[in-house]
Chains A and B, each alone.
Chain A
Amino acid sequence: MSDWYRDFANSGLGATITKQLGLPRPVELRRFEPGQPLLPGPAVVGSAGQGRLQEQLTTLLIDAGVTVSSPTADGERLSAVLLDATGLTGPADLAGAHALLAPAVKRLAPSGRVLVLADPPADADSPAQAAARQALEGLVRSLAKELRAGATANLVLVPAGAEAGLAGPVRFFLSGRSAYVDGQVLTLAAADVPAGQDEDRPLAGRTAVVTGAARGIGAAIARVLSRDGAHVVLVDVPAAGESLAAVANEVGGTAVAMDITAPDAGPRLARQLLARHGGADVVVHNAGITRDKLLVNMDADRWNAVLAVNLQAQLDLTQALLDTEGALKAGARVVSVSSQSGIAGNRGQTNYAASKAGIIGMVRAWAPAFAERGATVNAVAPGFIVTEMTAGMPLGTREIGARLNSLQQGGLPVDVAETIAWLAQPASAGVNGQVVRVCGQSLVGA
């Protein structure tokens, strides 16, 4: 779907007008394509205090074919700035962050990346150290709002012992896969991370289930998982079977027409996964419905339908897969699609927001049990994503919704799909119980 305003703002006359009037000036974001280098240009790596990750990060970049530049070199545009802030002992050390970032950000290329790595504040030895670590969140979130031209800033918290799982998340945040992920804080956990993966086909040989796969974001998820090498099992309601079959045939997957709220849906799906595919490696709970009304006007049917499809079915399907020996393979990845509404709330969506907030509670509660199986469970929370549904919104509402974020544009279904596909990778073993917003740092919500 074209973004007419973005195209206008990037035209000759449009550029002049938007600049003069101080209007938003969105750019076309750098998005991932197979075979693309991790970064289009050089990166710098620096530290605040005596960090423990700088060397690991530099090696990671060089191995990925990135030119690591000097923080003090002049002129050259940078594709990324990485700050190792694991050495912070107190607020005074933050000056080092300022000293690295200020000149580097000035040199940042369009769709550039600022990535800060630090220890979790909760693990700090002293209040001063916790303060310094927590301060980074304010720094990163504010910097993300200052960045322009599609650049993003994110913070990854790396507890001691979780360093082995760093490569996957760092690659994600630097790559075009994270185009619409901005101003986020991700906390890693110690985990057994498989050594190396085929970066062009990280999901090769894996079976991935996607619910609600017949159209929109679900179809985009199926396409990206398939592109990354997975055999996709596409689930949707029987009435959507025509487009479900079309998407399945497009991605070389298997179509399963079923109502996921049916009492036997979980066991049926588990049996089929086991019989036909020897179990699932990836499960993406994407199916969701909206039945919007103000709470006082909402009948029980609207309330119950949304909670049943968006939340209860996810709990039941996941439980059925856990209960069926072999249905979830070792190292499985479960990803649930939550929503910005579930974090910030939305007028007219008490039912929807309740279901989407419930998902966050669910993945956090399940994370420790999944970790014991060498598996992970996470959620993504999309913000304003341009779909057929948003195309039907009134122009004003749609444009305001699309611009109210640091990237000044709506995200695309593929942006949500890329984040999910990353969480599904073997290299994402250290990401568990997390909620990753795909919202371009929306002004709505935390």
Chain B
Amino acid sequence: MAAQTRKAAIVGGNRTPFARANSVYARASNQDMLTAAIDGLVARFGLQDAQVGEVVAGAVLKHSRDFNLTREAVLGSRLSAATPAYDVQQACGTGLEAAVLVANKIALGQVESGVAGGVDTASDAPVAVNEDLRRVLMELNRAKTLQQRLKALSGLRPGHLSPSVPSTSEPRTGLSMGEHAAVTAAHWGIGRTEQDELALASHRNLAAAYERGFFDDLVTPYLGLARDNNLRPDTSMEKLGKLKPVFGKGADATMTAGNSTPLTDGASAVLLASDEWAAERGLPVLAHLVDAQTAAVDHVHGGEGLLMAPVHAVPVLLARNGLTLQDFDFYEVHEAFASTVLATLKAWEDDAYCKETLGLDGALGSIDRSKLNVAGSSLAAGHPFAATGGRIVATLAKLLAEAGPGKRGLISICAAGGQGVVAILES
């Protein structure tokens, strides 16, 4: 065990352009896309046949056959087949959690380099057999005699033919994530206009970043798609304002397809390393992963919003690092829904909430909104669940590198199950 820890360097990243579900990547599997993201990273950094310390990635929607998804992707990639890999899964926090895990092993000196990634497809989702049918089939599998087999088969019903389709509903509440977010939006009084403004900024910022070539070394085209196809560079408040609400009820129905993320397909990968490993290969160090924190809230019984866990995680992270919420040059708050970002910021500004719910001395305060999601975020790019963390880590690392040494960025990602993952990067 290393006597001292060290900060892991973020060398660079690569992702596929993100595609709305059932569009360009409709026939691509999680393994296809993760392999493509890794191979693009390999090509960018000349890592053909290289053995990196570990590849850590995951997917939220996963086929049972993909039990070893990341290792299989590595075997299909140009990395050395002697590169170990494992899967992680923490809902939408998967990608960032993977980066934290790799960074921690680097910090401890257990590996010198690693790739963190994530992938998701809503188009090639795992459709399973009906749960009742599955029980019958398992019973049949256990049957030893003809009589037992016939008895098992007698349990078959026509209704068993309808498949079990994955959904974004919370298992314990039965509410979809959007419905949960609508409850939170109503609680915090998040209006339609401010949500649409945030969505508009996301599209404008992402489009501008593409125009200035920012993504030239962060994205590799895939299956003929060169840019995220959810991006609408020409959208406007008028266009967004015309969309009908899809979540919430009555006057509180403010969430539309324009200010919520669509189901998306895509993959991302980030290369992390020790400074020495990067220097030996002449590779850049864009930023370092300084620290990270997870949190979870009781959205079932505790009255807290499903996507509010990052609100709880950030003050813990700030306190441990002796920082205030204002000590950052960039903020990357994952736009699951525009209302989620706005509720998060509002909660940190709320003195009573910060005291009573977070147990702080007072409000964390507001942030300079011009530093928020400056290269666009999930509302414009789309949100292939497990791939979002890798997109954000690589984007923020490059923003920090461009801004020069000593700059600091905060990442906040909410996840299903009432969880949140947050992290600090520093150039």
Contacts and interface: CB of A to CB of B under 8 A. Distances in A.
Interface string A257-270: 11100100000000
A197 interface: no
Given A249-B39, A249-B78, A257-B220, A239 B226 contact: yes
Given A276-B281, A276-B282, A277-B282, A238 B43 contact: no
B49 A241 contact: no
Contacts of A255: 40, 43-44, 220
A444 B12 CA distance: 49
Interface residues of B, number: 25
Contact of A245 (B43, B223, B284): B43
B43 A244 contact: yes
Contact of B221 (A239, A256, A258): A239
A245 B46 contact: no
A258 B46 contact: no
B222 interface: yes
A62 B212 CA distance: 58
A392 to B, nearest CB: 18
A249 B43 contact: yes
Contacts of A249: 39, 42-43, 48, 78
A231 B46 contact: yes
B281 A245 contact: no
Interface string A187-218: 00000000000000000000000000000000
Contact of A254 (B45, B215, B216): B45
Given A244-B43, A245-B43, A278-B282, A252 B49 contact: yes
Most buried by B among A239, A240, A241, A254: A241
A253 interface: yes
A252 B40 contact: no
Contacts of A231: 46
B46 A252 contact: yes
Contacts of A259: 213, 216
Interface string B215-229: 111011111101000
B224 A242 contact: yes
A248 interface: yes
A94 B39 CA distance: 60
B33 to A, nearest CB: 13
B39 A245 contact: yes
Contacts of B45: 254
Interface string B265-298: 0000000000000000111100000000000000
A275 interface: yes
A23 B337 CA distance: 71
Interface in B216-249: 216-217, 219-224, 226
Contacts of A248: 43, 46
- Which residue among B217, B281, B283 has the maximum number of chain A CB atoms within 10 Å of its CB? B217
Contacts of B78: 249
Interface of B: 39-40, 42-46, 48-49, 78, 213, 215-217, 219-224, 226, 281-284
8 contacts: A238-B216, A241-B221, A245-B42, A253-B48, A255-B44, A275-B284, A276-B46, A278-B282
Interface of A: 231, 238-242, 244-246, 248-249, 252-259, 262, 275-278
Given A258-B213, A276-B281, 19 more contacts: A238-B213, A238-B216, A241-B220, A242-B223, A244-B43, A244-B220, A245-B39, A245-B44, A246-B43, A249-B43, A252-B48, A252-B49, A254-B45, A254-B46, A255-B43, A257-B216, A257-B220, A276-B46, A276-B282
